[in-house]
Structure 1
Amino acid sequence: MILVTGATGNVGRHVVGELLCADVKVRALTRDPATARLPGEVEVARTGEMPLDGVTSMFLNPAVFWNGLGDLLDRARDHGVRRVVMLSSSAALDDDPRNVIGAHHLEFERAIEASGLEWTFVRPGEFATNALAWADTIRAGEPVREPYARARTTPIHERDIAAVAARALLSDGLVGAKPVLSGPEALTYPEMVEIIGAAAGIPARFEEISPERAREEMLRRPYMREAIVDALLRVRAEAVDRAPEISPEVERITGRPARTFAEWAADHF
């Protein structure tokens, strides 16, 4: 049996789907099993209970364990779990101590490496799903307001992240690997907004704002801490007028090209 943490999240739900397609037994963890809306053949349990009996491999989303892993890895090993596939981040490549996002993921990676379990760390860059934060604004006919209009990113479809994670759970070829994942193209936020507008069939506009104003607005959002906001803005500033590296790993691992942002927009708008 494979345990999926964060099973109703953007990536976790698709990991569950990939595993079911492979005819594997899945135990899905979620904060509220009553509202999980997962397929009937999935065993659903509450995250806080963390049942590990019969589990051989685990998909670990660190967002579920922001306060630390505690004794999870020891318990997993004692229950016979052999493999952990963690949803890490390409931010783990950044050794700048100001990058709390990278530091958080590296802390978890190092703990898993020291646990004696088999492991794979899936390291995606920016999630295309971050653009869902613009949905209400675009549908209301208002401009999307963000800083650093000339910064480029390589947004990746959550289904591609899940497909790579599932292969790491189901086969041995990625044991000990840290694949960095990206979408197949480099885009600015104005270009992404235009693509979403085309998918939704409505006009969509972008308006550049100052980093200072963006910081104020980001800090009003739930769960946004100052260190996280500052790290995000610093990374975006460094991406201005730079061509980001496009990773071939999704296609290498899954055997098909990574989905474009236009495909993602068509799936969500």
Structure 2
Amino acid sequence: MNGVTRTDGDRRCRAAVLGSPIAHSLSPVLHGAAYGELGLAGWSYDRFEVDETTLPAFLEKLGPEWAGLSLTMPLKRAVIPLLDEIGETASSVEAVNTVVFTEDGRRTGDNTDIPGIVAALRERGIEQVDSAAILGAGATASSALAALARICTGEVVVYVRSAARAAEMRQWGERLDIEVRTADWADAERALTAPLVIATTPAGATDALASSVPGRPATLFDVLYEPWPTDLAARWSAYGGAVVSGLDLLVHQAVLQVEQMTGRAPAPLDAMRTAGEKALAAR
């Protein structure tokens, strides 16, 4: 999906992240760092506490100075009926995390989480895997599965806590045209021998698995970034395995958002990552 080319430095342009809760979001730090590096002195990026019930009214009051929005939970699906168009990537998982306002006032939705996962893995040299495991089956797991549909040539095993979640993930596999097998969370330690493990669970959910990390682990992608490192990621690193963090994902998806909203590419990945690391260290 093409970005907006509002690049007049003398014109103030606005963007923001919406969600609930939102106070913890690092997005203003990342986007602000990008604006500084790109010389977009007239741009601002804020955060607003918005939930499903207040989202329609929030969108309606936005003026022509707005270039785009980042969306976090619980808005990624709630926003879809309010948009004029959504891209193929967002449609594939029924989740929008990026809204760009075109010059003619149209609202277009995209999902930068999926290519962000792919880009974060590629940065660590992971271009393709022959199998993978996903820990968890929430909203992030569907994005992880969509990313794996691009780079995994074989089976993906998803470890879940309920039969309903297992059925959901198998349905996503059929929709995304990727081979999915589900397994019970009680057997999750078996996931740790996969060539690529993607942990999509909340803080603390994988702590008990840390003691089961194999002696020579492959690659772990843990989507959390705070607290960091997780027990699982710390043990994984200690045993010499490659670890991709939630901050890596956050930065890579934000890079794509900045490019779409500003029309400037490439966005400054290194500066954005450094700003994010400093902000987390200061918390």
Normalized against structure 2, the TM-score is what? Answer: 0.35
What TM-score do you get using the length of structure 1 for normalisation?
0.37
From the two aligned structures, give the one with the greater strand fraction: 2
